[in-house]
Structure 1
Amino acid sequence: MEDFKRLNPIEAAQQFIFKHFPNCQGALLAGSVIRGEATKTSDLDIVVFDKTLSSPYRESLIDFGWAIEVFVHNLTSYKHFFESDYERARPSMPRMVLEGIILKDDRIIESIKKEAKEILEQGPKKWSDETIKTKRYFITDALDDLIGCTNRAEEIFIANTLAELVSEFYLRTNLQWIGASKWIVRSLKQYDQKFADHFVDAFDVLYKTGDKNKVVLLVNKVLEPYGGQLFDGFSLGKNQAEL
């Protein structure tokens, strides 16, 4: 799968659709290759709409010199994925659809893109005060574990958990979409480049040197507008247990 064997990504995606889904009603090429963020290990993310399918599926394969991830839907199943992504605040499917380059269209793509655009512009559901309180508690718990940890191996993985919790809290309390893996940083940058830089620097210093101070300051700054750290008096499920 060397570069010289690869077709242009759009040409490869078009040939893939012609070969595997010639009768589909629509297809899109999304992902890093169309955002100009591709690396030598990037694959092609292709979304297919085929009204003959009884249920959606996802498949990974290699064709035309590319690793290809294909997400295949009928003309209603994608709505379930839109809804699911909205509920978890990670808009993978709406983002792929909206950013996607059209490979084939039997006059269905415009309306689906419109649905995706409306979801993305709406933003995720606002957290309740109770959810914020619960998240504060678990961030505090992870931070305490980090501060008290003297085992370097354990410290690394506590920091991983804390980074994910804090990024989620910062974005969701500001009514922003979240992400996982590389999309943690991308989501932070899309919303607040300055905060993203501080976030990355704090954890980078911790991973490289073991110095926890920047992470502690960052976490406290994120929690401060919502009451700061929370341990004493936190309760989960007690009222239901007393009924």
Structure 2
Amino acid sequence: MSKIKRLKPVEAAQIFINKHFPNCQGAILAGSVVRGEETETSDLDIVIFDQNVLSSFRESLIEFNWAIEVFVHNLFSYKLYFENDIKRARPSLPKMISEGIILKDEGVMGSIIKEASELLDKGPEEWTEETIKIKRYFITDTLDDFIGCTNRAEDLFIANTLAELVSEFVLRTNRKWIGTSKWVVRSLKNYDEEFTHDFVYAFNVFYKTGDKSKVIELIEKVLKPYGGKLFEGFSLGKGAIGG
């Protein structure tokens, strides 16, 4: 089957903003098409800055044989998204802005890109010792479920949870941004390629063969510098009774 013929990403994005947002002050094309990672199912991620928009919104469309996701902000609303991205340690909008290709700029993009880049360079907030302790406990609890489980269907979903918990733990304890879906592996790889190889290998062995030993070994190694597994004596939300 032949590929669908369509305009080049930048050309399609430029026509799109001229058609739908002709009065905007700035626009950026982001996503896989600007990172050189485009596939047949890639879409165009376009960030719009328009001072006349009352509130931010997101919309999905299909034009020029492209799936297009447009993220529309005024010149202040994007700051709230930056703040939310910092809190959840997933810098979706700052990353799009910092790595994107400028399609239009009426003097606003320089400061916005600078703000996004500085946020990314700073990294997420450092976890407190209490947060690390809580995360250790939940990883330990899930790992024990994984070790003791004899039901293959349940094993699969416990393993999925472990992968999310451990990837988050490794990245956040090293003050690195986290991700979801494909960005879990990409975020890990940006931090440490050797660890990412071991991480993927351990879970791949389990999914293919059912052998849990590599996953268990990996997680115990991750927890060791922070005191290892944690269960006995852990308490959450317990307060003193006083008068």
Q: TM-score, normalised by structure 2?
A: 0.98
Alignment of 1:36-115 (within 5 A): 36-115=36-115
Distance 1:57 1:85 in 2: 16
| Structure 1 residue aligned with 2:146 | 146
The secondary structure found in structure 2 opposite 1:175 is coil
| Structure 2 residue aligned with 1:173 | 173
| Structure 1 residue aligned with 2:14 | 14
| Structure 2 residue aligned with 1:202 | 202
How far does residue 39 in structure 1 lie from its aligned partner after superposition? 1.1
C-alpha distance after superposition, 1:37-94 (max 9, x if no partner): 1111110100000000110000011011100110000000000001110111000000
C-alpha distance after superposition, 1:119-164 (max 9, x if no partner): 0010000000000000000000110011011110110000000000
| Structure 1 residue aligned with 2:218 | 218
Q: Which residues of structure 1 form unaligned runs of 5+?
A: none
Letter in 2 for 1:236: L
The secondary structure found in structure 1 opposite 2:60 is strand
Alignment of 1:22-37 (within 5 A): 22-37=22-37
Distance 1:3 1:70 in 2: 24
Distance 1:171 1:207 in 2: 23
Letter in 1 for 2:104: K
Q: Which residues of structure 2 form unaligned runs of 5+?
A: none
Distance 1:38 1:158 in 2: 32
Number of residue pairs matched by the alignment: 241
| Structure 1 residue aligned with 2:231 | 231
How far does residue 5 in structure 1 lie from its aligned partner after superposition? 2.6
| Structure 1 residue aligned with 2:118 | 118
How far does residue 198 in structure 1 lie from its aligned partner after superposition? 0.3
C-alpha distance after superposition, 1:199-236 (max 9, x if no partner): 00000011111000000000001000000000000000
Structure 1 residues 75 and 3: CA distance shift in structure 2, 3 A: farther
Letter in 1 for 2:165: L
Letter in 1 for 2:64: F
